[in-house]
Amino acid sequence: MFDFDLTHTDGDARAGTLHLPHGKVQTPAFMPVGTLGAVRGLHPAEVERTGAQIILGNTYHLHLRPGEDVVQALGGLHRFTTWRKPMLTDSGGFQVFSLETLRTITEAGVEFTSHVDGSRRFLSPEKAMEIQWALGADIAMAFDHVVPGGSTHAHAEEGMERSLRWLARCRARHAELAAGSEAQTFWPIIQGGTYADLRLRSLEGTLAQGPWTGTAIGGLSVGEPKPVMHRVLEELGPRLPRDRPRYLMGVGFPEDLVEGIARGVDVFDCVAATRNGRHGSAWTMSGRVNIRKATNRMAAGPLDPDCDCETCQRFSRAYLRHLFVADEILGLRLLSLHNVRFLVRIGELARAAILEGRFTPWRHEWVGRYTQGDDA
């Protein structure tokens, strides 16, 4: 049920098929983020038509609203949202980082002051697993302690060690909940900030608690320079279980996917596609486009002539600009849709190249074109 078939490799790049209760995921793959049970702004059918094979939801946010009891009563996240394909839920570990000013950490867990109503919400490793079990995604994530990219060795070590201790508790609780069921698997997250020694210790400590059906790399793209992220991936890559999918959490931008795939990553997720889309920024093969710019006022052509998404197939840049300037919701949706497709397609293109043994030339050509121009 939770198999991963690594079918092709090309250098460090990999292509495979991940089998999950709600279907399979062909990798490399980008997962659109649907924090609150919806890929923001998009209809599930639209998300499906982008080629997305799996999306994610968030434990902390769905716990606050509508509450896992509601989701469970309504048949679980899949039935509740009507998304039929695989899903993954993040544990709330990222909120330990992003809501830093609204939480306090103890060994027992994290007390959040709800950003919605100020109420106190306690998330422990056990609680995070219980919520995720109730939500019922195909994959649940470990509740971890994410530290900022610029953290000191000591601080990164603290977060990494705590994540390891919490991992054991998560695993134990998930085993109790699942009790032999094949409904949901559970993935650990490697931490350790930007420090090689910590990353390796995190990896060792994680693998020692295995076996696992997948491995995630967390705590990247949280403020550290890109070369540092690449270095960490290179340090971990050869040591990660070869026959298990590797999920680089929270990454990334188009170039990050290509660089990540080149370093052996199989699965990605990132909010930038939808957030940047809502903010008027679109990725294209000729660089970033700020759709609001006056240069698009009369532009009859598509956002990206190279793109096969529904937005680019149908609408002009001028119309998209008009929608943004006029505050029409459709504009936000159409750019989100395009950006999601752009990232999903990178996975598809990379996969095709890997299958044919031409990943490296494809990568160089892609990077060359993408970084060539802005706002072309």
Partner RNA sequence: GGUGGGGUGGCCGAGUGGCUAAUGGCAGCAGACUGUAAAUCUGCCGAGCUAACGCUCUACGUAGGUUCGAAUCCUACCCCCACCA
Contact 237, 260 (CB under 8 A): no
Residue 335-374 contact track with RNA, rule CB under 7 A, x = bound: ----------------------------------------
In what order do the strands lie in the sheet containing 246-248? 29-32, 267-270, 246-248, 215-217, 189-190
Calpha distance 218→215 (Å, rounded): 10
Residue type, 84: R
Q: Which of residues 220-259 bind RNA (CB under 7 A)?
A: 221-222, 226, 249-253, 256
Options 6-14, 277-285, 299-307, 311-319: segment touching RNA (CB under 7 A): 277-285
> 25: alpha, beta or left, given left = phi > 0 and alpha = psi -120 to 50?
beta
> 245: alpha, beta or left, given left = phi > 0 and alpha = psi -120 to 50?
beta
From 138, 256, 269, 304, the catalytic residue: 269
Give the nearest distance from C-beta 354 to RNA in angstroms: 21
Calpha distance 324→363 (Å, rounded): 33
Known catalytic membership, residue 5? no
Give the nearest distance from C-beta 44 to RNA in angstroms: 14
Give the nearest distance from C-beta 278 to RNA in angstroms: 4
Give the nearest distance from C-beta 88 to RNA in angstroms: 8
From 90, 138, 266, 304, the catalytic residue: 90
Residue 91-130 contact track with RNA, rule CB under 7 A, x = bound: x-xxx-xxx-xx------------x---------------
Known catalytic membership, residue 10? no
Q: Which residue has the tokens 């949280």?
A: 222
Complex with RNA: residue 134 or 163, whichever CB lies closer: 163
* Other Cβ atoms closer than 10 A to 217: 26
Judged by CB under 7 A, which of 12, 235, 279, 299 binds RNA? 279
Options 170-178, 267-275, 353-361, 364-372: segment touching RNA (CB under 7 A): 267-275
Known catalytic residues are 90, 269
